[in-house]
Amino acid sequence: MNSILLAIIAVFIILILYDMRIFIRNKEPAKVYVLYFFLMGAGLIVSLLLAAGIRPVAPSRLIEAVFKMIGIAK
């Protein structure tokens, strides 16, 4: 189990290092870095949860909970 988690983290680190080299070479603006790290972080979290056997919450349930909290749905 731990070896799978370490492999996932290693793959993400390799991808980030490769992409950073290209981003620095192209002199991308800061918002590209922010969006990139947000998406990579979300992908890493979901991958680690799935590898650990924990199913992430479905987006539809999150939206439903927000609607109930606001009072739109019952």
Q: What is the pLDDT of residues 41-73, one digit of tens each?
A: 999 999 999 999 988 888 899 899 999 999 887
Q: Identity (one letter) of the amino acid at 21? A: R
Q: What was the pLDDT predicted at 39?
A: 96
> Percentage of residues in the chain with pLDDT exceeding 70?
99
How far apart CA 36 and CA 65 sit, in angstroms, is 28
**Whether the predicted pLDDT of 74 surpasses 90:** no
Query: What distance in Å separates the CA atoms of residue 64 and residue 46, rounded to the nearest whole number?
Result: 20
Residue 52 structure tokens: 């650990």
For the residues of 6-49, what is the DSSP string, one character each?
HHHHHHHHHHHHHHHHHHHHHT--HHHHHHHHHHHHHHHHHHHH
